[in-house]
Chain A
Amino acid sequence: MSVKDLLKMSLSSLWRRKLRTILTVLGVVIGTASIVVMISLGLGLNKVSMEQIEQYGGLTTINVYSNDGGYGYYGGGVAVSVDGSDSDSDSQEPVRIDDAAIEQFKHMEHVEVASPILSTWVLLRQGVWESSASIRGMSHEALEKMDIDIKEGSLPEEGGELQFFYGNTVITDFYNSKTGQNPYYENYDYEHPENNTTADVDFMNTPMFVIFDTDAYYNSQYGGTDENGAPVPAPKKYMVPGCGLMAGSPEEWGENSNSILCDVEALKAQLKKVFKGKAIPGQPTNKSGKPYKEIYYNQAYIRVDDMDYVTDVQDQIRALGFQAESNVEWMNQVQEQSRSIQMALGGIGAVSFFVAAIGIANTMMMSIYERTKEIGVMKVLGCDMGAIRNMFLAEAGFIGLIGGAVGLLLSYGISSIINFVTKATYESGISYIPFYLVLLAMIFAVFMGMLAGLFPALRAMRLSALAAIRNE
């Protein structure tokens, strides 16, 4: 018996009992849709979390912080320069990030980029527009390797004069110093973000005035005095050229979108020049309150070549006494969570599919009782036992196939409704049906249909031809 004839007979006997077939298929439709929608929610949640992690610096980045004592780790084989006068064995030696430490990080296995991060708060000013911002000095190599999308200009030059590279959301922090108003947040339009206005600041062609000594600035502004009671003079303003802009609208948040990046060496030189003979704000001091000769970094940025090694490298860095953080722990937690959510949701769906499978088995059983005589006649006329079994399996498989296909259509419908309703909270959609889920669902539906039909099909196959035709 040819496969074509076999499938045709199966289809025609399904067609013969339309209403019953439709009802059984309906069960599969509901079962498939509930599984697919439930899993799509789990996948969507996972996707949302992963996107969030991506926004916060991806999965191969490690942020290293200095350990200024108090809590944390004892340095083992610390190669960081420490104040030699500190002989108190009770207090922990602070572990700070300097060039030697960066060198050490660089030579660790799987470390692709290791860069210092030196950040400092400054006041930016262009015409009436003002912004209090943090600038972030990093090594030229790191800046180049961070895959920054450049809209205009270029990354800061290595070793030259101080230049700023502006992130795409930096503009939103500028306010009018006369009115104190920030045009971006003042008129923020949630419905149409493209209509938002921003401060009229030109980063590239008009020079930016930068006040590094912000303490002195505020003191002079509000009539503060120094130790001797004399009014504080206004600090010097420096003109810093912009070298580039990051791609993206003010609404797009990314890893460095709100940073003002510059070359770390240039920043160091600038800070030394600005604070000649004075303590640089944010830098550590020794017991007697005097600054060290060297400038210590606030942080180090480390990128590992593969996310599998992140924990490894992280442990090595911690062993040196630093604090090290990455998104891997976060991600593991998120994934574990979304796995258990998927399990729970999928389980709910599975129950309804199980009911559908029982429906298929029931329908097939009834069909076989009705067709006992027909099956017997076919056997007497020489129809292979295998062909009879396959005919019934195909029938059950068709129910699964049709139910699965319609169920998937329904799932897409439900999914887009869910995404529409939750649009405000989850921009990229909380229900996500990837292609492989479609494929899996189809295979699952057909397979489950056939599995449910297996017992009835075997029963049909073993039916005694004689018993079937005898009751004349």
Chain B
Amino acid sequence: MVQEREPVIQVKNLYKIYRVGRNKVRALNGVDLEIYRGEFCSIVGTSGSGKSTMLNMLAGLEKPTKGEVIISGEHLERMNENQLVRFRREHVGFIFQSFNLLGTMNAKENVALPLTFRGVPKKVRMDKADKMLDLVGLRKHKTHKPNEMSGGQQQRVGVARALVVDPEIIFADEPTGNLDSNTSAEVMELMKKIVREQNQTLVMVTHDNHLASFADRIFHIIDGKIVKIEDNRKNREVVEA
């Protein structure tokens, strides 16, 4: 059941070439893809295959060398840094591999932080953060500082922080990379559940085929090219050249 809707993410002929000394590294070598609203997609590939570069490009953290990135109808490659920040604030949630919580703030304050950047009044953002932490199952750790929580708990805070702004798209770069396999599975289930419930789009990068299989669609990337797209929902494989 491929949606007939407008894709929320459209990538056309995307290149990213790094210069390292005299050599050119083609981190992305002509990528085309479309992701639809409400989908959970994973990008999987070996280390150095260009997954992070891909994700950073989609989140507007890095400029492409060539090609187009269109999200919600807006061309990211044409934006300046200020516009990109505003774009992220309005459309994007981000989950980091190393959680990246602010050590001086407790769980609730960390979750409320993106709302602060949106100018949400303190009471409202604290209420929202509170609900979000309930949702990720951290009822008892709301006032804990990051260093008073386990990795899994910290990443739950990270998930809550990404979701609290109710973003259209959530990007996650190896969100379970620092977690053991049991905790990883838990966090994956959590993300999947919430994204499903709220009908959000999630794009996740991982090098682990097993974790990738949690997604609706799986993009296989090798040497900066998408070589295969798996659709879990139809159990059908589409191979691209």
A377 to B110 Cα, complex, angstroms: 11
Interface residues as binary, B26-52 with A (CB distance below 8 Å gives 1, 0 otherwise):
000000000000000000000000000
The answer on a CB contact under 8 Å between B61 and A466 is yes
Partner of A472, one of B81, B96, B114, B116: B96
Contact with B along A372-387 (1 / 0, CB 8 A): 0110011111111111
Contact status B104-A16, CB under 8 Å: yes
Residue of A nearest to B178 (CB): A472
Q: Is A402's CB within 8 Å of the partner chain B?
A: no
Q: How far does the Cβ of B158 sit from chain A's closest Cβ, in whole Å?
A: 10
Bound together, the chains give a CA A386 to CA B92 distance in angstroms of 19
Q: Does B97 contact A382, Cβ atoms closer than 8 Å?
A: no
Say which size band chain B's interface belongs to.
20 to 34
Q: Given the complex of chains A and B, what is the CA–CA distance between A382 and B100 in angstroms?
A: 14
Q: Which residues in B have their C-beta under 8 angstroms from that of A387? A: 117
Q: Which of B62, B89, B102 contacts A377 (CB 8 A)?
A: B102
CB of B61 within 8 A of CB of A382, answer no
Q: How many angstroms from the CA of A382 to the CA of B56 in the assembled complex?
A: 14
Contact A382 B117 (CB under 8 A): yes
Rounded to whole Å, the gap between the CB of B214 and the closest CB of chain A is 21
| Complex contacts, B161 vs chain A, CB 8 Å | 381
Find chain B residues with CB under 8 A from A374 CB. Answer: 102
Residues of A within 8 Å of B75, CB to CB, are none
Contacts of A377 in B (CB 8 A): 96, 100, 102
Closest Cβ of chain A to B113, distance in Å, is: 6
Question: Is there contact, CB below 8 Å, between A5 and B116?
Answer: yes
Residues of B contacting A383 with CB < 8 Å?
85, 89, 117
A contact patch SS: helix
Please report the C-alpha to C-alpha distance between residue A379 and residue B177 in the assembled complex, in whole angstroms.
22
Give the most central of B62, B81, B116: most A CB within 10 Å: B116
Interface string of B195-208 (1 = CB under 8 A from A): 00000000000000
Q: Which residues of A contact B88 (CB under 8 A)?
A: 380-382
| CB-contact partner of A1 in B61, B116, B122, under 8 A | B116
Shortest C-beta distance, A459 to chain B (Å), equals: 14
A384–B117 CB distance below 8 A: yes
Tell me the complex Cα distance, A53–B94, Å.
Answer: 74
Whether A12 touches B82, Cβ cut-off 8 Å, given contacts A382-B90, A472-B96, is no
Interchain nearest-CB distance for A374 vs B (Å): 6
Contact A472 B97, CB 8 Å, known A384-B85, A465-B61:
yes
B112, chain A: closest CB distance, angstroms: 10
Residues on B with beta carbons closer than 8 Å to the beta carbon of A332 = none
Q: Which residues of B contact A373 (CB under 8 A)?
A: 100
A-B contact count (CB 8 A): 65
A382 touches B102 (CB 8 A): no
Which of chain B's residues has its CB closest to A465's CB?
Answer: B61
Shortest CB-to-CB span from B103 to chain A, Å, is 8
Chain A residues whose C-beta falls within 8 Å of the C-beta of B85 in the assembled complex: 379, 382-385
The answer to the question of B78 belonging to the interface, with a C-beta cut-off of 8 Å to chain A, is no
Q: Type the 1/0 row for A336-378, where 1 means its CB is closer than 8 Å to any CB of B.
A: 0000000000000000000000000000000000000110011
CB A456 to nearest CB in B, in angstroms, measures 19
Q: Are B114 and A382 in touch, CB under 8 angstroms?
A: yes
| Bitwise interface map of B from 214 to 238 toward A, beta carbon under 8 Å scored 1, else 0 | 0000000000000000000000000
Q: Which of A373, A374, A382, A465 has the most CB of B within 10 A?
A: A382
Interface assignment of A279: CB less than 8 Å from any CB of chain B: no
Task: Name B88-127 residues within 8 Å CB distance of A.
Answer: 88-90, 92, 94, 96-98, 100, 102, 104, 113-114, 116-119, 121-122
Q: What band does the interface of chain A fall in when counting residues whose beta carbon is under 8 Å from B?
A: 20 to 34
Within 8 A of B (CB), among A373-422: 373-374, 377-387
Question: Is the CB of B59 closer than 8 A to any CB of chain A?
Answer: yes
Please indicate the chain B residues that have their CB under 8 angstroms from the CB of A385 in the complex. Answer: 81-82, 85
**Distance in Å: Cβ of B140 to nearest Cβ of chain A:** 25
Report the separation of the CA atoms of residues A382 and B85 in the bound assembly, to the nearest whole angstrom: 5
Take A374-B102, A472-B97, A472-B98 as given contacts and tell me if A381 and B117 are in contact as well, using a CB distance cutoff of 8 Å: yes
CB <8 Å contact, B56 and A466 = yes
The reply to whether the CB of B86 lies closer than 8 angstroms to some CB of chain A is: yes
A374 to B104, CA, bound (A): 10
In angstroms, Cα B117 to Cα A382, docked, is 7
Q: How far is the CA of A338 from the CA of B59 in the complex (A)?
A: 63
**Residues on B with beta carbons closer than 8 Å to the beta carbon of A469:** 96, 100
Assess whether A2 is interfacial by the CB under 8 Å rule.
yes
Across the interface, which residues of B come within 8 angstroms of A13, CB to CB? 104
Give A380 to B177 CA distance when docked, in angstroms.
Answer: 19
- CB–CB A381/B61 < 8 A: no
Q: Which residues of A contact B102 (CB under 8 A)?
A: 374, 377
CA distance A378 to B61 in the complex (A): 12
| Contacting residues, chain A, for B62 (C-beta < 8 A) | 466
> Does B94 lie within 8 Å of A381, measured CB to CB?
yes
Q: How many angstroms between the C-alpha atoms of A355 and B57 in the bound complex?
A: 44
Complex Cα–Cα for A386 and B114 (A): 15
A384 CA / B86 CA spacing, docked (Å): 7
Docked pose: A469 CA to B177 CA in angstroms: 14
CB neighbours of B89 from chain A (8 A):
381-384
Chain B residues with Cβ below 8 Å from A465 are 61
The CA-CA distance from A2 to B90 in the complex, in Å, is: 16
17 pairs, CB–CB < 8 Å, chain A vs chain B: A2-B119, A5-B119, A5-B122, A13-B104, A373-B100, A377-B96, A380-B59, A381-B88, A381-B117, A381-B161, A382-B88, A382-B90, A382-B165, A384-B82, A385-B81, A469-B100, A472-B96
Known A1-B116, A379-B85, A382-B86; 4 more pairs at CB < 8 Å: A2-B121, A5-B122, A377-B96, A383-B85
